[in-house]
């Protein structure tokens, strides 16, 4: 019997979790698993009508934890009872909210992309927490990214940092990368830092963080949605990828750069340690901070790494003067991804686990009260609505009171 699964996710999205979803599906299909791709809008979280293969009793939900409640509130026709229900989450912080834990424990199994995530969630749940790293798809060399389009001289040494501006500036931390680059390369016209982002127009925090560097001649800001081919072409044509992040659930672009034998500099913390080590990359020292003044984008008091700028500067200086002699590190990077994170190797791991699950008679014996998913989702939706109405009522009342007192003042 052929293995088949229902894979729920944002297959059309142009962001990290959507790419990870597509890569997982490709890896499963390469391993001979039939994947029923059930596609949803990343904007509305509602199902996009499409023809699907025959249904499986295994559901995989590749939906980030911060939208999972809303997702199930809007998709209450999903068949969960009598199915083996797996949720795939990437998470970047050691802290997990009580609401998330309550919701998680309804599912049969949690899949995560890194040991970092395994270590986090096993503290909070008794269900199986299993690592399935994001498979890395290496593309043929392409000229789709054209240096001349961005006024980059052909012989430039190209350093690049890549992030989505909506992924919160405090976590992606582009300022640390830029400040480190300036300290080493500010007077070097032959060395270029490309800041590749998108959704910058939707993030005031990212705009504020980046605007002060707009006049530096060897820093190029690109705020565009690239195709996968163009993004990989940029990585292929770069020399060094830098990510001085606060935390990553996995760190997909770092792994992709390593697959092409590029020098990668990254904070020595979180999910990227699954594939980065002192033999294949440059890891930056750090201490810890807590999130503050996040404007509701993420919770307050979450733990992040703060990379050491001085250490990053020292490593960038070393790379600057030794770039042509770092072939061993480049080769080690490429071998690490090829041997352990390829589409084929991860696909085989999926097949082993799903073959084991297929032995369960889930239709006869449903372990968790899965219908609570919709119940908790609806409670969460209504709670948010009540909070919104309370804030709205408070603001309207406060304005009326202010107007009232102004009138009284005017009569005195």
Residue 180 CB neighbour total at 10 angstroms? 27
| Sheet with 109-112, edge to edge strand ranges | 34-39, 4-9, 58-61, 84-88, 109-112, 129-131
Q: Which part of the chain has CATH 3.40.50.2000?
A: 147-340
Instruction: Copy the structure tokens of residue 91.
Output: 């998470």
Burial of 399 (0-12, 13-18, 19+ CB in 10 A): exposed
The phi, psi pair for 195, rounded to 5°, reads: -100, 100
User: Coil, strand or helix: which one is 263?
Assistant: strand
Domain covering 4-135+345-377 assigned CATH 3.40.50 in the classification:
yes
Burial of 283 (0-12, 13-18, 19+ CB in 10 A): buried
Q: What is the pLDDT of residue 367?
A: 47
User: Coil, strand or helix: which one is 105?
Assistant: coil
Q: What is the pLDDT of residue 397?
A: 58
Q: How far apart are CA 112 and CA 115, in angstroms?
A: 8
DSSP letter at 140 equals: P
Question: What pLDDT tens digit does each residue of the chain (412 aa) get?
Answer: 689 999 999 999 888 899 999 999 999 999 999 999 999 999 999 999 766 666 899 999 999 888 988 999 999 999 998 899 999 999 999 999 999 999 999 999 999 999 999 999 999 999 999 999 999 999 999 999 999 999 999 999 999 999 999 888 999 999 999 999 999 999 899 999 999 999 999 999 899 999 999 899 999 999 999 999 999 999 999 999 999 999 999 999 999 999 999 999 999 999 999 999 999 999 999 999 999 877 767 889 999 999 999 999 999 999 999 999 999 999 999 999 999 999 999 999 999 999 999 887 654 444 455 656 655 555 555 555 556 555 565 565 566 656 645 656 565 5
Q: Is the entire prediction scored with pTM above 0.85?
A: yes
Q: Which CATH superfamily is domain 147-340 in?
A: Glycogen Phosphorylase B; (3.40.50.2000)
């Amino acid at each position: 019997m052929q293995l088949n699964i229902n894979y729920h996710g944002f297959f059309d999205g142009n962001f990290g979790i959507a790419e990870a979803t597509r890569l997982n599906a490709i890896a499963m299909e390469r391993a001979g698993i039939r994947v029923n791709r059930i596609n949803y809008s990343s904007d509305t979280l509602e199902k996009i009508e499409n023809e699907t293969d025959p249904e499986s009793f295994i559901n995989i939900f590749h939906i980030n934890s911060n939208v999972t409640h809303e997702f199930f509130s809007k998709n209450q026709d999903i068949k969960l009872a009598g199915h083996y229900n797996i949720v795939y989450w990437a998470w970047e912080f050691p802290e997990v909210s009580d609401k998330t834990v309550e919701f998680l424990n309804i599912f049969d199994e949690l899949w995560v992309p890194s040991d970092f995530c395994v270590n986090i969630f096993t503290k909070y749940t008794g269900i199986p927490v299993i690592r399935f790293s994001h498979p890395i798809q290496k593309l043929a060399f392409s000229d789709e990214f054209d240096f001349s389009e961005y006024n980059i001289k052909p012989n430039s040494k190209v350093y690049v940092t890549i992030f989505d501006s909506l992924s919160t500036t405090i976590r992606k931390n582009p300022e640390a990368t830029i400040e480190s680059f300036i300290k080493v390369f500010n007077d070097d016209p032959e060395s270029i830092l490309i800041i590749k982002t998108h959704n910058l127009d939707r993030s005031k925090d990212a705009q504020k963080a980046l605007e002060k560097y707009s006049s530096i001649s060897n820093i190029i800001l690109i705020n565009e949605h690239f195709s996968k081919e163009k993004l990989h072409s940029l990585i292929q044509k770069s020399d060094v990828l830098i990510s001085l992040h606060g935390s990553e659930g996995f760190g997909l672009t770092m792994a992709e750069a390593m697959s092409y034998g590029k020098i990668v500099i990254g904070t020595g913390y979180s999910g990227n340690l699954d594939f980065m080590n002192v033999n294949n990359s440059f890891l930056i020292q750090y201490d810890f901070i807590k999130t503050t003044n996040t404007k509701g984008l993420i919770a307050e008091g979450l733990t992040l790494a703060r990379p050491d700028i001085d250490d990053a500067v020292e490593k960038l200086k070393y790379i600057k003067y030794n770039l042509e002699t770092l072939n061993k590190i480049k080769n080690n990077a490429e071998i690490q991804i090829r041997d352990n994170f390829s589409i084929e190797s991860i696909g085989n791991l999926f097949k082993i686990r799903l073959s084991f699950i297929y032995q369960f008679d889930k239709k006869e014996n449903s372990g968790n009260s899965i219908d609570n998913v919709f119940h908790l989702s609806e409670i969460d939706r209504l709670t948010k609505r009540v909070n919104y109405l309370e804030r709205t009522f408070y603001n309207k009342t406060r304005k009326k009171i202010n107007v009232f007192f102004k009138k009284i003042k005017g009569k005195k």
